[in-house]
Homo-oligomer: A and B are copies of this chain.
Amino acid sequence: MADQGSGRHEVLEAARRAREASHGLALATRARKDQALHAMADGLLAASATVLAANAEDVRRAEEGGTPRNIVDRLRLTDERLVGMAQGLRDVAGLPDPVGEVVRGSTLANGLELRQVRVPFGVVGMIYEARPNVTADAAGICLKSGNAVLLRGSSSARSSNAAIVSVLREAAVSAGLDADVVQLVPGDSHESVKVLMRARGLVDVLIPRGGAGLIRSVVEESTVPVIETGVGNCHVYVDAHADLDKALAIVVNAKTHRTSVCNAAESLLVHADVAQAFLPRVVGALQEAGVTIHGDDGFAAYDGVVPAADEDHGQEYLSLDISARVVPDLDEAIRHIRRFSSQHSDAIVTEHQGAARRFVAEVDSAAVLVNASTRFTDGGEFGFGAEIGISTQKLHARGPMGLPEMTSTKYVVTGDGQVR
């Protein structure tokens, strides 16, 4: 009890310090923020030995604890990854400052000048899993958008995160900013996450990044507003009027280019009219790439296809698996997607203008793609220069979130004594 109490107190204290620091950061010029970002990049490279040693501790602990190999891989930092983290910070420095952008403006009939201006949220809480590179990425994006950040990484990365954050804080101070613009949330227990989720008034927005379980728990328990990110049960629908060469390339790319990411395809729908021509080709190509197909009756005739249950259609595999169905028409494809999609990214392959137009209008996902791989739903690919996550909610931001999505706005009304 005493421990829990003191954990709670420490988290709230950190949030209060973040709030204090956020006031100054909101007023910082772009020049000062960019100076801090470059100092952070320089600092990470200069301290690479320390950071890698701290990371080696985390990796050793994870291996000793029997952590699966792919998780340990995500945890591991290398010189190359550190260089990538530093470059990421410099890239953010190169992006325009969203703070102060005038989103709209007009002069009202009574002479009042109305301006809607971008301002930082204030304090952002990031809750994320294994990858320690997210620590630097998130800190950089929050800093540039004028937000103090409370970082709550996975306890498996605690030594790495502590070493990285220590470098980032020192760099912030060297640029004349308050060290508390970047903080690790104190405490390792789940209790500290809970305190963060209830710190309404101190924390302005929470961004959970990680597995479906983490995101669901934050969405359900938090009283602080949440931006939900990243669960993707993405579909590729091959229409009756598809160019089957394009369709094949898109399906294989969307499924196999990188399987562990939220914009990978997890479900394939094929129009009955092209099933006979397309199924042999797509089954062959996917199986050659090592993919297990969980298919309906239409696919069942092919060797190696595993029968699909309903839960397969709702599944985000994040592996070399795909669910597959033959559908009688576009209507059924849209109905299927409405039922099973996580509303992240869904694609149609078609040369038929009317079919494309209907799919785009009727599929309600963060990204709807025509004749393109679902893998393109990404801040980098979209040209945003930096991405803090991909929102799958409809409020505030939907799809890849760059710097502008990390801001709120305020109305500035300037007059000369006007009254109503």
> Which residues of A approach B to under 8 Å, CB–CB?
23, 26-27, 106, 108-109, 112, 114, 116, 119, 121-122, 200, 204-205, 219-220, 223, 225, 227, 243, 245-246, 249-250, 252-254, 257, 338, 356, 360-362, 364-373, 375-377, 381-383, 393-396, 398-400, 408-420
Contact = CB atoms under 8 A, between A and B. Distances in A.
A346 to B, nearest CB: 10
A112 B376 contact: yes
A417 B114 contact: no
B417 A372 contact: yes
Given A204-B394, A419-B249, A420-B376, A414 B382 contact: no
B369 A413 contact: yes
Nearest to A409: B398
Contact of A410 (B223, B249, B364): B364
Given A106-B383, A370-B414, A371-B417, 17 more contacts: A23-B362, A108-B381, A114-B382, A219-B223, A220-B223, A225-B395, A250-B417, A253-B419, A253-B420, A356-B414, A367-B413, A368-B411, A368-B413, A375-B420, A382-B411, A398-B408, A400-B411
A333 to B, nearest CB: 14
Most buried by B among A249, A395, A396: A395
Given A246-B417, A395-B225, A410 B366 contact: yes
Contacts of A412: 360, 367-370
23 contacts: A26-B362, A108-B381, A108-B382, A109-B383, A119-B364, A121-B395, A122-B364, A122-B394, A225-B393, A249-B417, A250-B417, A257-B419, A366-B410, A369-B413, A369-B415, A370-B412, A371-B417, A373-B420, A376-B413, A377-B411, A382-B411, A395-B395, A395-B396
